Structure 1
């Protein structure tokens, strides 16, 4: 039950990076702005190259383009607010605005987790399923309909979890304090202002985190156990090298993504809000840029296609 005689809160205030002096905030602002623009540009390049080159109209690049769209939406939901926090000491946001920001943030974050899981399954099918008698086995399993269903399933899970979480948390009454020690609407910071018992809400949050993170992480792990087992059976050293190279970029992105996400959502409560913010900066600024760079722009086929698109390299 809400506490009696409480002062209802109608908006929140972001503490952001106000603990830093202004002259210490200018450099991070420029750095984060440049990284944000690079993230938007690199994802736009990937989408353009994939759309304009028929050779990339395959399941792997389809999922990569969906991930690029999701990463772009994710950064748009968070980074502009963070950049704004670097320019002004404190900023306010209404409770509905906070709920909206958190809804989109969580939707795309969970969607990214399950898209990475789907891409792990795609690598599993590529490496473990091809048979000499069925050279097109991969395209039979990962047909257009299957790809759309897998991508739609990831989006649906993200939307469902976001709806449940937002409905659960923002149905609480908020009172007494409204200073969020973060640069966006972080769920743990928000629940501190609730005037009612949050035990059940925190349990729901934990279940959601376990479902979104642990389930997808376990399925990725199972995929890679089967992949590694298959690769080790390959007689040719060159064949093993190519198979490992196929998975290396995806595995790099998965490790970084789940390390940061697990720290944010599964760690015990902490009083070190600055540490939480620094980890969140890594997760919201650097990880979205890592994905397109590692998975696409270091790919020779993508770089060659980009040069052809720009007219700087003749068609082979």
Structure 2
């Protein structure tokens, strides 16, 4: 087995954008801080407001935690590199980024599928919702998706450790991604590509089908509701989640299915949208489109003496 022949990589980041580094770094910093504030606000509301301690918002709290972790993996090292004017990243740090980013991505995909099933039961079987979805089941499902994400990422990361990097060590991105490192390796990568393809077929397709079929039945049920107010109320309970799912899959597919011969600038823009902008948008979507979240926020303000 070949051994690794480099101890560090050059992470392209924003190093070649001489005149745009300062405004772009300030923009990334603003988005990252806003992501932290928005998702921490949702987590605090879910924990502190008794009206939000339901399965739907339990899963939303997990989603907010994932958004914080994903944004931190992709943003902190990039901002640190800009601050210290160095674009080197240690091999161990790069592998850690690959592990955590892949882990959080897989976990979020499964979590969105679980949330879709939760909306399916709430809309299609409302009378049995409390018996089918309870807090014990929610904890088991949430724990399960975190375990699946960790196991999948561990397998890919362990297989990554067997690769040798003896040629170009410049990573054309904002952070270390699994596919980019496989492309840079100078040893046999057939096992790595095989695992990626199996992952796409076995897990990504399955998760997508669960999400897609759940909403097929949800929309069929909504269309059968005769009262207009009933339709609007039913749709409002899942519109935020449907928007988040659309953004997640839309940016993910565009990031990993697009042609790989595109320029470095386009590749970094796509990665930024997928890894930095999407976690920023999720809390805004839930805050603007969900009346219960807004109600909990106003009740929280009232508790501290501020009445909007």
- Asked if 1:64 corresponds to 2:60, the answer is yes
Contact 2:4 2:163 in 1 (8 A): no
Note if contact 1:50-1:56 (Cα within 8 Å) is conserved in structure 2.
Answer: yes
**1:39 aligns with one of 35, 38, 44:** 35
SS at match of 2:126: coil
Higher helix share: 2
- Structure 2 residue ranges without an equivalent (≥5): none
**In the alignment, is the contact (CA less than 8 A) between 1:12 and 1:94 conserved in 2?**
yes
Shift of 1:287: 0.6
Of residues 269, 277, 283, the one that matches 1:292 is: 283
Q: 2-side partners of 1:191 and 1:301: how far apart?
A: 44
Contact 1:16 1:89 in 2 (8 A): no
Q: How far apart are residue 183 of structure 1 and its match?
A: 1.7
59, 78, 82: which one aligns with 1:82 = 78
Residue 195 of structure 1 and its aligned partner are, at CA, apart by 2.3
Q: Is residue 2:164 matched to residue 1:181?
A: no
Deviation at 1:214, TM superposition (A): 2.3
**C-alpha displacement at 1:149, in angstroms?**
1.1
Aligned counterparts of 2:209 and 2:297: Cα–Cα separation in 1: 35
**Counterpart among 121, 134, 146 of residue 117 in structure 2:** 121
Is the 2:73–2:97 Cα contact (8 Å) retained in structure 1?
yes
> Does the 8 A contact of 1:113 with 1:212 survive in 2?
no
1:15 to 2, 12, 15: 12
2:193 is aligned to 202
Matches of 1:292 and 1:7, distance apart in 2: 41
Q: Secondary structure at the match of 1:192?
A: helix
Q: Do the aligned partners of residues 7 and 193 (structure 1) sit closer, same or farther apart at CA in structure 2, a change above 3 Å counting?
A: same
Q: Structure 1: any 5+ residue segments left out of the alignment? A: 132-136
- How many residues align? The count is 305
1:296 Cα shift? 3.3
Q: Give the structure-2-normalised TM-score.
A: 0.93
**Do the aligned partners of residues 264 and 300 (structure 1) sit closer, same or farther apart at CA in structure 2, a change above 3 Å counting?**
same
Q: For residue 184 of structure 2, give the secondary structure of its aligned residue in structure 1.
A: coil
Identify the residue that residue 222 of structure 1 maps to in structure 2.
213
TM-score (norm 1): 0.90
Q: Deviations over 1:280-315 (max 9, x none)?
A: 10111211011111123542222222122122349x
User: Could you list the per-position Cα deviations for residues 113-158 of structure 1 after superposition, in whole angstroms to 9, with x for gaps in the alignment?
Assistant: 1111111111000000124xxxxx2111111111011111110110
The change in CA–CA distance for 1:45 and 1:7 in structure 2 (over 3 A counts) is closer
- The answer to whether the 8 A contact 2:124-2:221 is kept is yes
Question: Contact 1:17/1:85 (CA < 8 Å) preserved in 2?
Answer: no
Cα drift, residue 83 of structure 1: 2.1
